[in-house]
Amino acid sequence: MAVGTLREIERAFLDLRWHLDPVAATQAGVKRYDHRYGRYGPTALTPHLAALKSLAAALEETTADQLDDEIDRTALLNELRVTVRRFERERPQAKNPGFWLSHLLGGLHFLLGRRDRTPEEKAVALAGRLDDVVGLLDDARATLTDPVRVFVETALQINEGGLALVREVKAGFDDRVAKAADGAAEAMTAFSRDLERRLDGASDQFALGEEDFNFHLHYEHVLRDTAPELWRYGLHLKEEVEADLANRAARLNEGKEWKEVADRLRADHPPAAGLVEAYAREMARAREFVDAHGLAPIPEAPLDVVPTPAFMRPVIPFAAYDSPGAYSKDRTGWFYVTLPDPSLPAGAQERILRDHCRYELAATALHEGYPGHHLHLVHAQQQPSDTRKNVWTPLTVEGWALYCEDMMGEEGFYRSEEEQFFQRIHLLWRAVRVLLDVGLHTRGMTFAQAVDYLVTHLGVDRANAEAEVRRYCAEPAQPLCYAVGRRDILALRSDFRAARGGSFTLRGFHDAILRYGGLPVTLMRWGLGLA
Can you give 224-290 as a three-state secondary structure string? CCCHHHHHHHHHHHHHHHHHHHHHHHHHHCCCCCHHHHHHHHHCCCCCHHHHHHHHHHHHHHHHHHH
Averaged pLDDT score across all residues of the chain: 95
Q: Which of 376, 420, 375 is CA-nearest to residue 516?
A: 376
Residue 274 CB-density burial (10 A; 0-12 exposed, 13-18 middle, 19+ buried): exposed
pLDDT at 2: 52
Residue 20 Rama label (left phi>0; alpha psi -120 to 50; beta): alpha
Beta bridge partners of 321: 335
Distance separating alpha carbons of residues 106 and 455, to the nearest angstrom: 30
pLDDT tens-digit series, residues 43-82: 999 999 999 999 999 999 998 999 999 999 999 999 999 9
The model's pTM:
0.96
Beta bridge partners of 334: 304, 322
- Does residue 203 sit in helix, strand or coil? strand
pLDDT at 311: 67
Write the CB contacts of 146 (distance below 8 Å, at least 6 apart in sequence): 91, 94, 95, 203
Kindly report which listed range (157-171, 273-287, 291-305) carries the lowest average pLDDT score.
Answer: 157-171
pLDDT tens-digit series, residues 391-404: 999 999 999 999 99
Q: What are the C-alpha distances in Å from 322 to residues 106, 109, 325, 429, 474?
A: 11, 11, 9, 21, 19
pLDDT at 256: 86
pLDDT at 459: 85
Distance separating alpha carbons of residues 475 and 206, to the nearest angstrom: 10
pLDDT at 1: 44
Angle of the 447-458 helix axis to the 417-442 helix axis, nearest 10: 160
Mean pLDDT in residue range 416-431: 97
pLDDT tens-digit series, residues 223-245: 999 999 999 999 999 999 999 99
pLDDT tens-digit series, residues 472-504: 999 999 999 999 999 999 999 999 999 999 999
| Residue 292: half-sphere exposure toward Cβ, Cα within 13 Å | 10
Distance separating alpha carbons of residues 478 and 470, to the nearest angstrom: 13
* pLDDT greater than 90 at residue 355: no
* pLDDT greater than 70 at residue 315: no
Beta bridge partners of 337: 307, 319
Is the Cβ–Cβ distance between 79 and 21 less than 8 Å? no
Is the Cβ–Cβ distance between 223 and 78 less than 8 Å? no
Sequence spans of domains, the chain: 6-208, 211-487
* pLDDT greater than 60 at residue 11: yes
Q: Which of 462, 386, 436 is CA-nearest to residue 7?
A: 386
Is the Cβ–Cβ distance between 96 and 474 less than 8 Å? yes
Distance separating alpha carbons of residues 206 and 209, to the nearest angstrom: 9
Mean pLDDT in residue range 410-423: 97
Mean pLDDT in residue range 159-182: 92
Give all strands of the β-sheet with 303-307 in edge-to-edge order.
303-307, 333-337, 319-322
CA pseudo-torsion sign 63, 66, 67, 71: negative
In which element (H, E) is residue 74 found? helix 67-85
